[in-house]
Chains A and B, each alone.
Chain A
Amino acid sequence: MPDDLINSFLNAPDEKGRFGDFGGRFVSETLMPLILSLEAEYDRAKTDESFWAEMDHLWKHYVGRPSPLYRADRLTEHLGGARIYLKRDELNHTGAHKINNVLGQILLARRMGKERIIAETGAGQHGVATATVCAKFGLKCVVYMGAHDVERQKPNVFRMRLLGAEVVPVTSGRGTLKDAMNDALRDWVTNVRDTFYCIGTVAGPHPYPAMVRDFQSVIGKEVRWQLAEQEGEGRLPDTVIAAIGGGSNAMGLFHPFLDDRSVRIIGVEAGGKGVDDKMEHCASLTGGRPGVLHGNRTYLLQDDDGQILEGFSISAGLDYPGIGPEHAWLHDTKRAEYVSITDREALDAFKLSCALEGIIPALEPSHALAHVMKIAPDLPSDHIIVMNMCGRGDKDIFAVAEHLGVDL
Chain B
Amino acid sequence: MARIADTFARLRSKGRKAFVSYIMAGDPDRERSLEVLRGLPGAGVDIIELGLPFTDPMADGPTIQAAGQRALGGGMTLEATLGMVRAFREENDETPIVLMGYYNPIYSRGVERFLAEAKEAGVDGLIVVDLPPEEDDELCIPALKAGIDFIRLATPTTDDARLPRVLENTSGFVYYVSITGITGSAVPKPSDVAPEVARIKAATDLPVIVGFGIRDPESARGISEIADGAVVGSAIVSKLAEGGPIEELLAYVRSLADGVHSG
Contact = CB atoms under 8 A, between A and B. Distances in A.
B55 A192 contact: no
Nearest to A192: B180
A178 interface: yes
Given A24-B135, A25-B132, A307 B157 contact: no
B227 to A, nearest CB: 17
Interface string A260-299: 0000000000000000000000000000000111110100
B165 to A, nearest CB: 9
Contacts of B129: 28
Nearest to A291: B104
Contacts of B181: 30, 189-190
A192 B157 CA distance: 9
A182 interface: yes
A223 to B, nearest CB: 35
A292 B55 CA distance: 12
B interface secondary structure, majority = loop
A319 to B, nearest CB: 15
Nearest to A306: B108
B155 A30 contact: yes
Interface string B131-174: 11111000000000000000011111111001000100000000
B130 A27 contact: yes
Interface residues of A, number: 36
A interface secondary structure, majority = mixed
A294 B56 CA distance: 9
B191 to A, nearest CB: 20
Contacts of A32: 132-134, 157, 162
Nearest to B166: A29
A26 B130 contact: yes
A380 interface: no
B182 A190 contact: yes
Report which residue of B105, B132, B133 has the largest number of chain A beta carbons within 10 angstroms of its beta carbon.
B132
Given A25-B135, A26-B135, 14 more contacts: A25-B132, A28-B59, A30-B180, A30-B181, A185-B58, A291-B104, A295-B130, A304-B108, A305-B77, A305-B79, A306-B105, A307-B54, A308-B55, A308-B104
20 contacts: A26-B103, A26-B135, A29-B155, A30-B177, A172-B62, A173-B55, A182-B58, A186-B59, A189-B58, A189-B59, A189-B180, A192-B157, A291-B107, A292-B107, A293-B56, A295-B130, A306-B78, A306-B106, A306-B109, A307-B54
Interface of B: 53-62, 65, 72, 77-79, 102-109, 129-135, 152-159, 162, 166, 177, 180-182, 185
